[in-house]
Structure 1
Amino acid sequence: MTKTLGRRLFGFGSSGRSAARNPGGATTAADCLRLYDDAAAAGPVDAELAEAAAAVRQLPAADPGMTDALLALGGAALARDLPPLALAAADAVLTRRKGSRAAWHLRGRALEVAGDLAGAVEAFEGYLERTDAASAGAAEVTARIAVLREAHSWRQDVVGALDGTAPGVGALAAGPLPAFEAALGRHLDDRLAAAGPEEAAGLARVVGLHAERRRHQLLPPLADPLQGGTGRLRIGEFRNLVAGRSVCLVANSQTVGGGALGADIDAYDLVVRFTSFRIDPAATGERTDIHVTGHRGALNWDRRVTTRLVFSDRPEDWRQALRTRLVPGAQRFTGDDSLRRPLRTVGGLTPERWPAPLTCGFEMVWLLDFLDVSPRLDLIGFDFFATGHHRLAEAARIAGPSDYSSEKAWVMERAQHVTGPVIALR
C-alpha cells in the first residue's frame, strides 16, 4: 500500500487530535482488525503485516499475549505508513494496560507520522512519566520532544503569518508535516512568480520561515556513531523476536569445543553465543543469530548477526560501548536501555538480592526464562567452566568470575532434564 493510499483510506485531522487527549478510551483489538481489513481491501498488504494481524485475530481478547500481538501489529503498520492503524493498536494496549511504556512510545510515533505534533508530544511525555529519567530511552525521547515542539511552533507561526491567505495550505496544518511543507513551498513559488514589490514584501515573514526550515533540512546529515544503520529493540520487541522459536545458548566451554554438536546447534531456530565465542563448525556450529557481550568486550563485534545485546551496569558505559564498538552493517538490531542489564532492570534483582558480578551467559539465560515464550530453550555446554574455556585466543587473558555456584544452582533448579551436554529448560 502506498503512503497516499494509506492516508486517503484512514484520513487525518481533528480526530487524531481528539484521540491524543483521550488515549486508550475504548479501543479494542476488534477495532484494530477492522482498520486492517479496510487496508487489505484497499490494496495488497505484505506478509509481515498480514501475519501480525493474523496473530491478533487468533487470540482471545483476554489472552495475556494480546498486548504483545497488538504492539507487533502497531509496529508493522507504522513501518508501512499506516499511522491510524498503529495508533489504534497503541490505544488498544493502553485500554488494557494504561502504564505500557511501549504503547505510549508507539502512540507518539504514530501521531508524529500523522502530523499531530502536539498529540505526539503528549504521548511521548506519557512515555517519559513511566521511564527512568537516567535511561537512554528517556534521553532519546526527550530530544525528540524538543524537535517536535520546535516543528509545531514553526507550523503555527507559518499559519499565523499566512493569515488565511492560503486556505489550501492551512487545510494541511492538521496533517503530516512533509505534506504541509511541500504545499507551502508550492504556494510561495506561485505567489512570488506573479507578485509585485508590495505583495512580495508582505510575504517576507512567511518566506523567511520557509527558508530557515529548508536551510536546516538541506544540511548534510550528521554521522550517527550510535546506530550505524542498526535498529533498537525494546524488551517487548525482543520478546516478539524469540517468541515461538527454538533457542539454544552455546557456552564458550571445552564441553562444546571438544564435542561434535555443530549440526545439532545449527538446527535450532535461534543460536545465541557470548562475548569471545570461537567457531569450529563441527563442534560449535556456524550460525550466530544473537551475540551477547559485555560493554568491556572487544571481540566479535564485527561478526554478522541479527541481534547484538550489550550488557552493562552503568548507562554511560553502555552508551559509550555502542558508540565506539558497534560495526555498521554487522547487526540488524541492538537492545535499548530496557535490555542493558535484564537481571537488574527487568527483574529488579539488586546486588543484595543477587551477587555480582553477573556473567553474560547467565543474564541471557535469566532473560529468556523470564520471557518464557520459547517452546524449546536449551543450554549447550553450560558446565560452568569445569572443563575450561573454548574461545578466541585473544581472550585468553580475560578473567571471569571464579565462583559460578549461584548460577549453576539457579539453572539446575529449573532444568527439565539433562542429556549429556544439553540442559533443557523447556
Structure 2
Amino acid sequence: MTNPLAGLFKARQQEAARLDLFNRGMRLCGEHLAARGAKPTPWLTQAIGTFAVSLATPSADPFDALLQVGKRALEAGGDGSLNLALGVAGTSTLIRQRSKGAWRLHGLALDGLGRGDEALESYERYLSLQQNGGAAPEIARRIDTLRRRRACLDEAVALFPEAGSPLRGMLGGPTAATAPEFAAQVRAKVAEHGVGDPAVRRLLELYGTYRRLVERDGMPDPLLGGTTPIDVGGLRGLVAERTVCVVANAEEVASSGLGSEIDGYDLVVRCDSFRLRAEGTGERTDLHAVSLRGDTPWDGPAWTAPVGVRLVFGDPAAGWRRALRQRLAPGAQEHVGDASLRRPLGDPALLGEDDWGRETTTAFTVVRLLDFLDVSPRLDLVGFTLPGRLRPRETEWVRERATHIHDSKMRIALR
C-alpha cells in the first residue's frame, strides 16, 4: 500500500536541502566580505544585500539574486572575487542542475581563474542546455579558443612522447602555470635538438599559436561573414543624398506611435543598446553607432543585431581593435567603420575637437559626424527634445544649430 505521506516528506526533504544550499551561498558571501583585504565593489555589496533580503522574504525566489551575486563578483575580478563567483556558481548548479545561467557563470569563473579544461566542461554543459543548440557568440568563441589551446598542448606532447616528459605535466594545469612551463620546454628542446629539427620547428609553431590564443580569443570567421570595412569616404558615399534620423533609446519613443515616420527616412540610426517596438521606434536599423566604455570594453556582449553599417567609437586603438575582434558577430553587419572612424571628434584628420572629452554620448558623436559630412538633405534627431538625452553642452550645440524643433513629434531638425 502506498504511503500518502511519502511524497510530502520527500518534498520537505528537498526543500530543506535547497534551503541549506542557499544558506551555503550566504556563507560564501559572508566569508568574502570578512576576508582580510577583500574590497568588494559597491555593485557586489549591493547584490549580496539583495540576496540576503530575498532569503528573508517568503514570497521571493532567491535563485536569481544568488546568480546576480556571482555575476557581480565576476565583474569585480581578482582571485578573491573570482573564487566567490565560482563558489556561487557551483552552489547554483546544485540548486538547479539545468540552469543555463549557472553553468555559464561556472565556466566564466573557472576561465577567469585560468582553469581552462574545467571551464570547457562547464561551457559544454551550458551549450547542451541550449534548446536551439546555439550558444551566445562570445561563449561559442571561447569554447573554440579553449579547444584550440588544448589541441596545441596535445600535439606538443605527441611530438616528444618519451616517458616522464615534462610536457605531459602541462595537460590540465592552470594557464598561469602552463604558459611558462611550455616556454621552458620549448627552450629545452631547442637546446637539445636545434631549430633545424622538424619536430622542434613544429613545437615552435604550436607555442606561438598557444601564446596568441592565451592573449586573445581566436576568430572562427576572420572575414566576419563578408563584412566590408569602410572609411570616411565610404561612409560619406553611403549617406550622400539620403534623409537621416538618429533615434533615441527612450521609452517615450517606444510608446510614441512614430514608428512609420521613423521607417520613412532613408537612413535610420540607432545607438548603443537599443530595442525595437515597431509602432513606436520603427523596425529598421541602417546604421548602428556604439561607444566603447570602461577599462575592458572587449568583454561586453557581441553586437548581434542585424544592421547595414556598424560604427564603433573608441580609444586607445589597441582596445578598439580587440573589441572589434571579440564583439563583432559574423553576418550581423554589411559594413563596419575602420580606424579612420573610431574617434571622429578628436581625430585631427576629421573634426579635431578634442575638448568634447571621452564621455561624449554616442548619439552626439554620430550626429556631429553626420553634420560634418554635410551630404544629407535632412538630418533629424528623434526623442532628444527631453532633458537628459544628451549632455548639457551637447544639447546646447544641437539647439543652436536646429532649423526646427517639433516638441509633439520629439523631433529636432538640423537640416
More contact order relative to length (CA 8 Å, sep ≥ 6): 1
The bucket for the TM-score relative to the shorter chain is: 0.3 to 0.5
TM-score (norm 2): 0.46
